């Protein structure tokens, strides 16, 4: 199973304060819009998303179809195929991708400790 690019999406209280903090750790803005309260920051192959007021807790995020540089891969496992495999393994879903659709879609699951995992395909 190939889940795609990995990042941690952080629920932050103040995007400006968090941005300055992570810049001190060597991260730089890679995408997003601070005026809209979200930024994607990168340090080498490490990616974090800063999200103010968009969700309550941190989320592990995987992006099928993207490399760690957020470039579209020529070949990748579709999010609906991943969802089908996980269902066959007995994983319970908080939200599901429409299995009759194509293109961008996502699903959410939780690990045994309540950590949210988002599998979000943008292509």
The confidence band for 47, taking pLDDT boundaries of 50, 70 and 90, is very high
Burial class for 74, CB neighbours closer than 10 Å (0-12, 13-18, 19+): exposed
- Identify any residues that bridge with 12 across adjacent strands, giving them in sequence order: 52
Position 70 scores a pLDDT of 84
Closest by Cα among 52, 47, 55, 65 to 8: 47
Return the structure tokens found at 96. Answer: 């599901």
The confidence band for 69, taking pLDDT boundaries of 50, 70 and 90, is confident
Give the chain's largest Cα–Cα span: 45
The confidence band for 8, taking pLDDT boundaries of 50, 70 and 90, is very high
d(CA 90, CA 83): 11
Kindly list the structural domains of the chain, giving each domain's residue range(s) and its CATH number in brackets, ordered by start.
5-121 (3.10.180.10)
**27 within 8 A of 48, measured Cβ to Cβ:** yes
The confidence band for 40, taking pLDDT boundaries of 50, 70 and 90, is very high
Residue 63 has pLDDT above 90, yes or no: yes
């Amino acid at each position: 199973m190939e889940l795609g690019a990995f990042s941690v999406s952080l629920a932050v209280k103040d995007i400006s304060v968090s941005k300055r903090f992570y810049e001190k750790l060597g991260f730089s803005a890679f995408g997003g819009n601070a005026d809209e309260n979200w930024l994607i920051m990168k340090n080498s192959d490490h990616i974090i998303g800063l999200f103010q007021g968009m969700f309550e807790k941190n989320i592990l995020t995987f992006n099928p179809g993207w490399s760690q540089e957020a470039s579209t891969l020529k070949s990748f496992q579709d999010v609906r195929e991943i969802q089908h495999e996980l269902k066959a393994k007995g994983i319970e879903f908080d939200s599901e991708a429409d299995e009759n659709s194509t293109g961008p879609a996502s699903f959410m699951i939780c690990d045994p400790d309540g950590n949210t995992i988002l599998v979000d395909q943008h292509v």
